């Protein structure tokens, strides 16, 4: 295998496990423990992508989640994911990845023409160029969007499963570096329940890549011991490969766990990702810091990377990214990288912007033969697809300029270090305040707002011993605050080869004159924002940070400026000659890293998105060709078409079957509430508009419920089953609302009333049989005496139906002789099938909701929510008969005498008959006195229900019309959407069997 950049020994990879992968169609090999980035570097692949705007060749800049350049399209088909950071992708067998934003290939990219033409694409180019004429923007947009953008999203349905987990604990620690580990250890030893989150596959943080000792013992062994101890604690839970995404109020934290993303075989039983919603009493932020790039001419070529990233590739993965290397730095810490590279056989020189460098470092460089250019800067880089040459020049501090001879060096790798930025994203999301630290030249945490702790490098402290002691102490303090018995304190002493001491970083910023033409000084690598763009934005007046961000797009994109923000702010400060504090910073928002929609949706997809409710007869309906309708969450048969029947044929047949012989409806979805208790009658008197005190046992009564505004909000039949026992029915869609309404008044208003409400909707299957033959038919199957004398209308009886204990109600929603047979749900389908079998001789016809609607409209029965809309009173519906005049009080009564409800011109419920006897009016149509060519015209109301009535042979409609009851017989007009105007005559609301004899037969 090639792996030509792999060192002979070392690293934390498993050299025994070779892994095959494909990048841009070519086969490569890596080792278990590699990331895609480290394996590519090992195989000497440096060019991995093209930049967003100029299509410049880009390589690997970092070795972590902050990567702006090396973002790839990962996987194929339905599983493909765009914008994945190669620096985070763990290598697995068969991995396939490809470069983005290039065509036809990353090596020969047509789009790189943009780079040559770049002088015409400065910041704001699109705003300025495509603004005129405004009407053409949509045209331009199509092409601009096509040219922009990075990867592509999959078009097929996601085949993977995603889970969500709610979690509660005392302490959540974000970051598994030494600071996080020690806090977890202290809190864990004290007994706190701890959740430790880290985005890497291995705990230990950046120190895994450096030489250090703790209490004079080997650092790596020490980390292993701590991790082992944490894993042995039952009260500590550790999540690796988990990124904390959002930090919200009251220590609510979301985190994305990549469960099987790194596996070659996806398990059926394990989700791909798990989205954690964590609520903890305290949160410890220990996320560490990101290394800051340096801004110099053409600082974006492949082969240029962060010093710490170079160190990580070398120490952790055993990959030497270059053989002829320069380190460009403004601080001491990066020298560790230089020494390590030197040790592993690379030829290395150091360009340091500082004049005064620690004499020990100078001596060591001399001992090792490392050429040190003190007070020098890189002024240009060359190399089309990989850096191959640089020029350096002396920094003249007095003139704030570069001067002297240009020295040319041949290199194949530049390691840069501009200092460290604490990863304050989550802290800032939690509303924590930042301040600018003049020594570190970056923003560090200042004020804590929530019950949180911030430790280690994340807190802007880079002293190892201090961090060790502070972290452990804070873990103990947290335990103490939460009333745990605190473990013993320990004094820690840590030593690094070279520490990032506070005095060692120099602010480095290119001088104003040094933004030379023909080269680009990149601030934001992902969005191709250069120093010149920032200058331009300031010249054009976009001087607030938020404006500069939006004008130049610096800090946007999938990396959200993790590497670029501070440099952009520093440059603005430099331009305006103002302290960075006064420039301020933009707002950090979740998520910390890009995350999948799949994880956010979790299991709430497909049939679990909104639960489906089915009656016990549902299967039969399916087997018998029912077309279903959604009513709330219920699936209800809409109609039952026979061969070649359309909806009109089917509904006509079903309607006539009921009117002429026998029909059957599955009415199980009706809301059913069981009411018990000595005060139930009193309670019903308050809830319904009519009187309930005198209802006898075994009798049913229709009731109308109003809200306190006096508006109808539900209706149904309630039956007295026993002394203190009632059975209430509600509309299908209103069942839950009514249940809550009853509970609200019982629990908050009338606490002294003894009434218990139990939802029994799903306990009973309701078979509504209707039609002139229904009595004859049902009598054959029941021991209940159904005769007119013994079982009159609006009565209730119990007995056996088809051998099953049943409740039978003689109520009617069709106007025909009807019985509603309630059987325990488990017998629902059995009884339904018995009815179908025995009803054959009466041509028993199952019917759906559409037929139910037609039949009730023929009788003028209202449907709450269709004929009413929350703004109509019982009087508006001409239902004065159901409003008690005697009752002192009931819900809504007082509002009937409000001036608005008393208005004489309120809309009233009326019938409507079209004069042409054939047009079925669209429901919702506006009704006008006289249709004019254009508004305004006199509006009268609207159509609420409209059907063709098979039994009458013409259409019928119900409507709300202003002052309608005084307009009976008047002609109105209904202008339709298609321009036609339909004439209709206002009628009463009962179209069929006006005398109401049918249901009393």
Partner 1 sequence: MFVIKCPYCGERDQTEFSCHGEAHIARPDNPAEVSDEEWGEYLFFRNNPKGIHFERWTHDHGCRRWFNVMRDTVSDKIIRTYKMGDQKPGVQDV
Stretch that binds partner 1, among 126-134, 392-400, 839-847, 890-898 (CB under 8 A): 890-898
What are the phi and psi torsion angles at 600 (to 5°)? -70, -40
**CA dist 470 → 115, 181, 475, 754, 944 (Å):** 49, 12, 9, 60, 71
Nearer to partner 1, 277 or 795 (CB): 277
- Return the closest-CA partner of residue 320 out of 350, 343, 346, 300: 346
Interface characters, 317-356, with partner 1 (x: CB under 8 A): ----------------------------------------
Stretch that binds partner 1, among 10-18, 321-329, 745-753, 766-774 (CB under 8 A): 745-753
Helix, strand or coil, per DSSP, at residue 588 = coil
Stretch that binds partner 1, among 113-121, 318-326, 516-524, 744-752 (CB under 8 A): 744-752
What is the per-residue burial (b if ≥16 Cβ within 10 Å, else e) of 518-552? ebbbbbbbbbbbbbbbbbbbbeeebeebeebbbbb
Nearer to partner 1, 677 or 698 (CB): 677
Nearer to partner 1, 130 or 896 (CB): 896
Helix, strand or coil, per DSSP, at residue 310 = helix
Least gap, CB of 254 to partner 1 (angstroms): 10
Contact pick of 512, 894, 917, 971 for partner 1 (by CB under 8 A):
894
Contact pick of 396, 622, 723, 744 for partner 1 (by CB under 8 A):
744
CA gap 587, 553 in Å, rounded: 14
Does residue 926 bind partner 1 (CB under 8 A)? no
Relative to beta strand 273-285, strand 712-722 is unpaired
Stretch that binds partner 1, among 265-273, 736-744, 827-835, 964-972 (CB under 8 A): 736-744
CA gap 539, 16 in Å, rounded: 58
For residue 740, the Cα-to-chain-centroid distance in whole angstroms is: 29
Does residue 120 bind partner 1 (CB under 8 A)? no
Does residue 893 bind partner 1 (CB under 8 A)? yes
Nearer to partner 1, 9 or 166 (CB): 166
Ranges within 865-884 binding partner 1 (CB under 8 A): none
Contact pick of 693, 748, 904, 997 for partner 1 (by CB under 8 A):
748
Ranges within 163-202 binding partner 1 (CB under 8 A): 166, 168
Does residue 249 bind partner 1 (CB under 8 A)? yes
Does residue 143 bind partner 1 (CB under 8 A)? no
Does residue 447 bind partner 1 (CB under 8 A)? no
Does residue 743 bind partner 1 (CB under 8 A)? yes
Stretch that binds partner 1, among 249-257, 498-506, 559-567, 790-798 (CB under 8 A): 249-257
From first CA to last CA, the distance across the chain in angstroms is 94
CA gap 623, 779 in Å, rounded: 28
The sign of the dihedral angle between the CA atoms of 428, 430, 431, 437 is negative
Strands, E assignment, 888-953: 907-914, 926-928, 939-949
- Return the closest-CA partner of residue 326 out of 413, 257, 444: 413
Does residue 611 bind partner 1 (CB under 8 A)? no
Which helix or strand (DSSP H or E) is residue 963 part of? none
Interface characters, 652-691, with partner 1 (x: CB under 8 A): ----------------------------------------
734 touches 714 (CB < 8 A): yes
CA gap 433, 825 in Å, rounded: 60
Interface characters, 708-727, with partner 1 (x: CB under 8 A): xx------------------
Nearer to partner 1, 116 or 751 (CB): 751
Q: Which residue has the tokens 């059995």?
A: 830
Which helix or strand (DSSP H or E) is residue 32 part of? strand 26-32
Nearer to partner 1, 93 or 743 (CB): 743
Least gap, CB of 208 to partner 1 (angstroms): 35
Relative to beta strand 95-99, strand 14-23 is parallel
Q: Residue 748 is encoded by which pair of tokens?
A: 């908050």
Stretch that binds partner 1, among 578-586, 636-644, 887-895, 962-970 (CB under 8 A): 887-895
Helix, strand or coil, per DSSP, at residue 285 = strand
> Where do the H-state alpha helices sit in 556-646?
565-576, 580-583, 597-601, 618-623
- Return the closest-CA partner of residue 581 out of 435, 693, 687: 435
Does residue 139 bind partner 1 (CB under 8 A)? no
CA gap 361, 380 in Å, rounded: 26
Stretch that binds partner 1, among 16-24, 293-301, 847-855, 895-903 (CB under 8 A): 895-903
642 touches 843 (CB < 8 A): no
Nearer to partner 1, 740 or 790 (CB): 740
Does residue 899 bind partner 1 (CB under 8 A)? yes
Q: Residue 355 is encoded by which pair of tokens?
A: 């004049």
Contact pick of 355, 502, 649, 749 for partner 1 (by CB under 8 A):
749
Least gap, CB of 669 to partner 1 (angstroms): 21
Does residue 625 bind partner 1 (CB under 8 A)? no
Stretch that binds partner 1, among 157-165, 233-241, 330-338, 739-747 (CB under 8 A): 739-747
Strands, E assignment, 146-302: 162-174, 194-197, 212-214, 217-218, 236-239, 242-248, 252-258, 273-285, 289-291
Stretch that binds partner 1, among 892-900, 912-920, 921-929, 940-948 (CB under 8 A): 892-900
- Return the closest-CA partner of residue 640 out of 612, 660, 661, 664: 664
Nearer to partner 1, 254 or 593 (CB): 254
Least gap, CB of 710 to partner 1 (angstroms): 10
- How many CB atoms neighbour CB 753 within 10 A? 15
Contact pick of 270, 604, 740, 1000 for partner 1 (by CB under 8 A):
740
Contact pick of 224, 493, 578, 898 for partner 1 (by CB under 8 A):
898
Interface characters, 147-166, with partner 1 (x: CB under 8 A): -------------------x
Nearer to partner 1, 406 or 608 (CB): 608
Stretch that binds partner 1, among 130-138, 394-402, 521-529, 885-893 (CB under 8 A): 885-893
**CA dist 836 → 764, 843, 918 (Å):** 19, 9, 34
Does residue 248 bind partner 1 (CB under 8 A)? yes
User: Which residues neighbour 241 within 8 Å (Cβ) at sequence distance 6 or greater?
Assistant: 198, 199, 200, 201, 257, 258, 259, 261, 262
CA gap 70, 302 in Å, rounded: 10
Q: Residue 342 is encoded by which pair of tokens?
A: 């030197």
Least gap, CB of 170 to partner 1 (angstroms): 13
- Enter the DSSP assignment of 57: E
Does residue 751 bind partner 1 (CB under 8 A)? yes
Does residue 888 bind partner 1 (CB under 8 A)? yes
Number of residues that bind partner 1 (CB under 8 A): 24
- How many CB atoms neighbour CB 125 within 10 A? 13
Does residue 609 bind partner 1 (CB under 8 A)? no
Stretch that binds partner 1, among 178-186, 331-339, 741-749, 981-989 (CB under 8 A): 741-749
Ranges within 268-307 binding partner 1 (CB under 8 A): 277, 279
- How many CB atoms neighbour CB 676 within 10 A? 16
- Which residues make up the interface to partner 1 (CB under 8 A)? 166, 168, 248-250, 252, 277, 279, 708-709, 740, 743-744, 747-749, 751, 888-889, 893-895, 898-899
């Amino acid at each position: 295998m090639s792996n030509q950049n792999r060192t002979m020994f070392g690293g934390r990879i498993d050299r025994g496990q070779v892994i095959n992968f494909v990048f841009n169609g070519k086969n490569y090999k890596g080792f278990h423990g590699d990331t895609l980035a480290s394996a590519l570097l090992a195989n000497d692949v440096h060019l991995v992508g093209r930049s967003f705007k100029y299509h410049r060749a880009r390589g690997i800049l970092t070795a972590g989640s902050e990567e702006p350049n090396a973002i790839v399209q990962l996987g194929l088909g339905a599983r493909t994911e765009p914008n994945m950071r190669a620096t985070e992708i763990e290598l697995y067998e068969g991995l396939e990845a490809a470069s983005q934003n290039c065509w036809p290939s990353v090596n020969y990219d047509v789009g790189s023409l943009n780079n040559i033409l770049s002088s015409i694409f400065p910041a704001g180019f699109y705003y300025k160029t495509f603004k005129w004429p405004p009407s053409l923007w949509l045209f331009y947009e199509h092409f601009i969007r096509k040219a922009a953008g990075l990867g592509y999203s999959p078009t097929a349905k996601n085949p993977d499963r995603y889970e969500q987990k709610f979690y509660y604990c005392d302490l959540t620690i974000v970051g598994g570096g030494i600071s996080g580990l020690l806090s977890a250890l202290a809190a864990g030893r004290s007994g706190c329940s701890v959740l430790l989150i880290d985005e890497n596959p291995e705990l230990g943080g950046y120190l895994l890549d450096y030489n250090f000792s703790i209490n004079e013992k080997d650092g790596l062994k020490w980390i292993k011991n701590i991790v082992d101890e944490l894993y042995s604690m039952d009260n500590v839970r550790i999540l690796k490969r988990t990124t904390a995404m959002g930090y919200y109020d009251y220590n609510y934290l979301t985190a994305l766990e990549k469960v099987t993303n790194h596996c070659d075989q996806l398990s059926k039983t394990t989700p791909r990702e798990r989205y954690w919603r964590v609520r903890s009493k305290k949160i410890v932020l220990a996320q560490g810091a990101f290394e800051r790039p340096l801004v110099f001419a053409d600082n974006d070529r492949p082969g240029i990377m962060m010093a710490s990233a170079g160190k990580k590739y070398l120490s952790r993965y055993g990959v030497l990214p270059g053989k002829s290397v320069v380190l460009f730095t403004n601080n001491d810490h990066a020298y560790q990288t230089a020494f390590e590279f030197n040790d592993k056989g690379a030829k290395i020189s150091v360009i340091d912007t500082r004049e005064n460098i620690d004499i020990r470092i100078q001596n060591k460089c001399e001992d090792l033969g490392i050429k040190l250019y003190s007070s020098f800067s890189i002024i240009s880089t060359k190399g089309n697809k990989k850096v191959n040459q640089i020029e350096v020049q002396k920094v003249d501090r007095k003139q704030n300029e570069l001067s002297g001879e240009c020295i040319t060096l041949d290199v194949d790798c530049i390691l840069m270090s501009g200092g460290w930025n604490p990863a304050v994203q989550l802290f800032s999301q939690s509303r924590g305040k930042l301040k600018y630290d003049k020594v570190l030249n970056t923003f560090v945490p200042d004020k804590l707002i929530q019950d949180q702790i911030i430790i280690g490098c994340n807190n802007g402290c880079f002293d190892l011993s201090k961090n060790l002691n502070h972290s452990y102490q804070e873990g103990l303090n947290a335990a103490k605050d939460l009333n745990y018995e605190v473990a013993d304190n320990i004094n820690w002493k840590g030593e690094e080869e070279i520490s990032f001491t506070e005095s060692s970083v120099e602010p480095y910023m290119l001088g104003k004159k040094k933004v030379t033409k023909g080269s680009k000084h990149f601030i934001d690598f992902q969005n191709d924002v250069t120093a010149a763009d920032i200058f331009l934005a300031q010249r054009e007046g976009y001087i607030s940070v938020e404006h500069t961000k939006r004008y130049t797009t610096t800090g946007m994109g999938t990396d959200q400026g993790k590497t670029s923000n501070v440099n952009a702010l520093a440059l603005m400060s430099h331009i305006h000659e103002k302290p960075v504090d006064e420039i301020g910073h933009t707002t950090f928002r979740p998520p910390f890293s890009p995350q999948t929609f799949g994880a956010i949706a979790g299991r709430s997809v497909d049939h679990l998105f909104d639960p489906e409710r089915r009656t016990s007869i549902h299967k039969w309906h399916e087997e018998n060709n029912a077309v279903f309708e959604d009513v709330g969450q219920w699936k209800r048969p809409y109609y039952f078409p026979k061969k070649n029947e359309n909806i009109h044929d089917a509904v006509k047949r079903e309607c006539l079957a009921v009117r002429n012989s026998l029909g059957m409806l599955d009415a199980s979805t009706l809301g059913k509430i069981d009411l018990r208790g000595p005060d139930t009658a009193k309670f019903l008197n308050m809830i319904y508009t009519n009187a309930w005190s005198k209802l006898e046992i075994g009798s049913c009564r229709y009731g109308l419920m109003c809200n306190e505004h006096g508006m109808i909000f539900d209706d149904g039949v309630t039956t007295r089953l026993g002394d203190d026992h009632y059975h209430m029915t509600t509309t299908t869609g209103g069942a839950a609302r009514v249940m809550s309404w009853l509970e609200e008044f019982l629990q908050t208003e009338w606490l002294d009333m003894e009434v218990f409400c139990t939802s029994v909707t799903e306990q009973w299957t309701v078979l509504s049989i209707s039609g002139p033959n229904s009595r004859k038919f049902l009598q054959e199957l029941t021991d209940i005496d159904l005769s007119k004398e013994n079982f009159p209308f609006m009565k209730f009886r119990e007995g056996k139906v088809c051998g099953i204990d049943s409740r039978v109600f003689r109520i009617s929603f069709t106007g025909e002789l009807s019985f509603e047979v309630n059987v325990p749900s488990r017998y629902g389908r059995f009884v339904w099938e018995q009815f179908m079998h025995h009803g054959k001789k009466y041509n028993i016809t199952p019917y759906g909701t559409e037929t139910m609607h037609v039949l009730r409209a023929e009788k003028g029965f209202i449907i709450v929510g269709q004929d009413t809309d929350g703004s109509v009173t019982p009087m508006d519906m001409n239902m004065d008969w159901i409003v008690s005049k005697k009752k002192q009080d009931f819900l809504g009564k007082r509002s009937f005498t409000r001036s608005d409800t008393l208005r004489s011109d309120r809309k009233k419920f009326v019938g409507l008959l079209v004069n042409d006897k054939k047009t079925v009016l669209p429901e919702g149509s506006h009704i006008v006195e006289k249709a004019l060519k254009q508004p305004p015209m006199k509006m009268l109301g609207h159509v609420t229900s409209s059907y063709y009535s098979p039994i009458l042979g013409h259409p019928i409609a119900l409507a709300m019309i202003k002052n309608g009851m005084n307009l009976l017989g008047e002609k109105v007009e209904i202008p339709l959407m298609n321009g036609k105007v339909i004439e209709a005559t206002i009628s009463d609301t009962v179209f069929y069997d006006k005398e109401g004899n049918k249901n009393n037969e």
